[in-house]
Amino acid sequence: MNDNRGSWKCLKCNEKLAKKKTVFTYLGHNFSHEVMTCPTCGKVFIPKDLAMGKMAQVEEQLEDK
C-alpha cells in the first residue's frame, strides 16, 4: 500500500491527503509524528507499513518501560 500513498483521498471531503503533525498516545506516553491526514476533516491515515513498522516498534519500546 506504500506504493500509491499519494493517490489516496478522504471520501467525505473529497480531499487529497497532506502531511500533518499528529499526537499519538500509548500507555500514558504522548508523542507526535507527521502522518497523512485529511486537510479538511482531520481524519488520520495510517498505512500498513507504518502501523506494522515504526508504530509497532515504538509500541514495543513503551511496553518494555
Partner 1 sequence: MKMRLEDATSYTAKCFNGEPASCSYACPFRLDLRTFMDRAARGKWSSAYKTLSNAVVFPSLVAALCPQPCRNHCQRTQIGDEALMIRDLESACIRFAKNKKPVKYAIPPKTKSVAVVGAGPAGLSFALNLSRKRYLVTVFEKTGGWGGALREHEKFPEFDQEFTLLFSAVETDFQFNREIKSLEELSGFDAVYIATGRGGETFGLKDTLDDKSMATGKPGVFMGGAVCDMPLMESIALGTQLSQSVEVFLETGKLTELDRDADRIKCERYLRHDGEEKKPVVVPGLPDGYTEGEAMSEASRCFQCDCDYCEKSCEMLKSFKKKPHRIAVEVFTDMQGSTLSSRTLTREAYSCNICGHCKSVCPEAVDIGALLQYSRAERLSAGKDIPAFHDYWLREMDYAVTKGAYASAAKEKTSAKYAEAKLAPAGFAEAKFAFFPGCQLGAYRPEHVVKSYEYLADKYDAGLVLTCCGAPAYWAGDMDRFQKNIDQILKQWNELGKPVFVFACATCETLFQAYMPEIKRISLYELMAKDDALQPVQGYENAAIFDPCNARDDPEMQTSVRKLAEKAGTDLTELPEKNRCCGYGGQIRLANPSLYEEITKNRSEASDKPYIVYCANCREVFASREKPVTHILDMVFGLEPLTGVQTLQEKRNNSLEVKRILMKKLSGEEFQPEPNPWDSLSLVVSDDVQKEMDHFLISAGDVKETVFAAESSGEKFVDEKSGTSLACLIKPVLTYWVQYRMLDPRTFEILSAYYHRMRFIEDDE
Enumerate binding residues for partner 1 (CB under 8 A): 1, 4, 7-12, 17, 20, 22-29, 35, 41-46, 48, 51-52, 55-56, 58-59, 62-65
CB of 61 to partner 1, least distance (A): 11
**Grid-cell match 491527503, residue found:** 17
Pairing of strands 15-16, 44-45: unpaired
**Grid-cell match 500498513, residue found:** 48
CB of 50 to partner 1, least distance (A): 8
CB of 12 to partner 1, least distance (A): 6
Q: Say how far apart CA 30 and CA 35 lie, in whole Å.
A: 15
